[in-house]
Amino acid sequence: MWKAQWKWLVGLTGGFLLCYYLPVGTERFNHAVMESLELVKWYAREHVLLCLVPAFFIAGAIGVFVSQGAVMRYLGPRAKKWIAYLVASVSGTILAVCSCTILPLFAGIYKMGAGLGPASAFLYSGPAINIMAIVLTARVLGMEIGIARAVGAIGLSVVIGGCMHLIFRREELEKARMTADLADTESGRPLWQNVLFIGSMIAILVFANLGKSEDSGALWMVFWRVKWYLTSLAALVLGFMLIRYYGMKWWKLVCIAVPVAVLAFRFPDKPLLAFTAGFLGVGAFTSTEKEGELRNWFETSWDFAKKIMPLLLFGVLIAGLLLGRVGQEGLIPSEYVGKLVGGNSLLANFFAAFAGAFMYFATLTEVPILEGLIGAGMGKGPALALLLAGPALSLPNMLVINSVMGCRKTVVFVALVILFSTLLGFFYGTL
């Protein structure tokens, strides 16, 4: 009892002192507050609708339509290790997502019974092994560091996943024992239907978020120019699947499609309006379904949203306050960062990995940031360390991981990412 009271006393005292000594009125603090709000505003506009909303629906679909037996067979504690880690480690080549968008998908497979090792490999690889980011890194920063990033990210996903499994092997063995019988259970629907259904939503997520870059190749620009046509095609496949195999009434789909089509043709320069209307329509009609799979799909997706969104927005706010945005400073001066990542010492690599782990990088933004830092004197080793740790982690990302798998596992996962990113960066810098 007294221990609990002391915790309250320390917490209240710390909160009071923080409020009492807030440097309100100083130029740096006021600027940092504005940057944190700007970052949250930008995140809400650029990532919530295009990235997180589809990710929540995908995670909900995994939880409802994919049988626990299937997850256990390919990613569970008793699954063949080479299959589990192969699937998890190369997932990023399909999912061009950031460290926050991967979280609903990770939470979905982890809660369905995926082993801690493969789930951790998936959590790391999703944002780290982004094929466009690898290509852009090679084009802008050089082929050498591009190849090092690709090889390092794939290797680290397996190593980090394996370490998580070994460190928490007792829990994993207990989990395998308790779920031994689930590996043989399957849902009544053929696996290919679920794969196509979830794959269509993944296609929507990927195509809608294709980004334009001055350094992109000609083939990538072709895909970028027709991204919304590809997104629409994936949405048509999703609609067909909903009617044909998942029991949605055809008139409901018409009610969803008509506003989307009207907005798409009326505002061709604002595709986000039609995109948002589509997911709002799907959410509205699935939420009003009677008891069944579609209703469970919405409720599971909504449950992920309620648990993850507040933590993400709070984390983005704090990250913006401390570190600012690209080209803008927060409370921590960027010149300190520049001085600490020069050369190729272990300390420089560690600081680059540590700073990258707490910063928030939207997909592809790490490349121009690194280009500027290298121009300011950053060593190649620390540059690789930041590339390996930064996209895979962020402060918002850590808050959500903690809510999914607990504080101990989160601390170990973050420490492993920073440690191995530091070592790989140091090794690369000495070559």
Number of domains in the chain: 1
* 179 lies in some domain: yes
Tokens 């209703």 found at: 295
* 409 lies in some domain: yes
Strand (E) or helix (H) holding 185:
none
Tokens 């010149």 found at: 335
Task: Give the separation between CA 57 and CA 298, rounded to whole angstroms.
Answer: 7
Angle at 162 between CA 157 and CA 165, to 5 degrees: 130
Task: Give the separation between CA 421 and CA 389, rounded to whole angstroms.
Answer: 6
Task: Please write the tens of the pLDDT for every residue from 151-204.
Answer: 888 889 899 999 998 999 888 777 766 665 555 455 567 778 888 998 899 889
* 85 lies in some domain: yes
Task: Convert 69-95 to b/e letters by CB count within 10 Å (16 or more is b).
Answer: bbbbbbbbbbbebeebbebbbebbebb
What does the pLDDT read at residue 181? 54
Angle at 43 between CA 425 and CA 94, to 5 degrees: 55
Half-sphere exposure of 268 (CA within 13 A, CB side): 3
- Could you tell me the two tokens for 88? 């998890």
* 294 lies in some domain: yes
Q: Is 397 within 8 Å of 163 (Cβ atoms)?
A: no
By CB atoms closer than 10 A (0-12, 13-18, 19+), residue 25 is exposed
Q: Is 203 within 8 Å of 210 (Cβ atoms)?
A: no
Q: At what angle do helices 143-167 and 380-389 cross, to 10 degrees?
A: 50
Residue 289 main-chain phi, psi, to 5 deg? -65, 150
* 267 lies in some domain: no
Helix, strand or coil, per DSSP, at residue 59: helix
Strand (E) or helix (H) holding 279:
helix 271-287
* 149 lies in some domain: yes
What does the pLDDT read at residue 338? 65
What does 106-147 look like in DSSP terms, one character per residue?
A: HHHHHHTT--HHHHHHHHHHHHHS-HHHHHHHHHHH-HHHHH
What does the pLDDT read at residue 200? 92
> What domain range includes position 226?
38-248+289-430
Tokens 């053929």 found at: 190
What does the pLDDT read at residue 216? 55
Task: Give the separation between CA 202 and CA 351, rounded to whole angstroms.
Answer: 35
Task: Give the separation between CA 96 and CA 206, rounded to whole angstroms.
Answer: 6
* 7 lies in some domain: no
- Could you tell me the two tokens for 192? 């290919």
Question: Bridge partners of 378?
Answer: 342
What does the pLDDT read at residue 274? 92
* 139 lies in some domain: yes
What does the pLDDT read at residue 178? 66
Q: Which of 191, 186, 223, 182 is nearest to 206 (CA)?
A: 223
Low-confidence ranges of the chain (pLDDT < 50): 184
76: left (phi over 0), alpha (psi -120 to 50) or beta: beta
Q: Is 322 within 8 Å of 330 (Cβ atoms)?
A: yes
Task: Give the separation between CA 237 and CA 227, rounded to whole angstroms.
Answer: 16
The amino acid occupying position 189 is: R
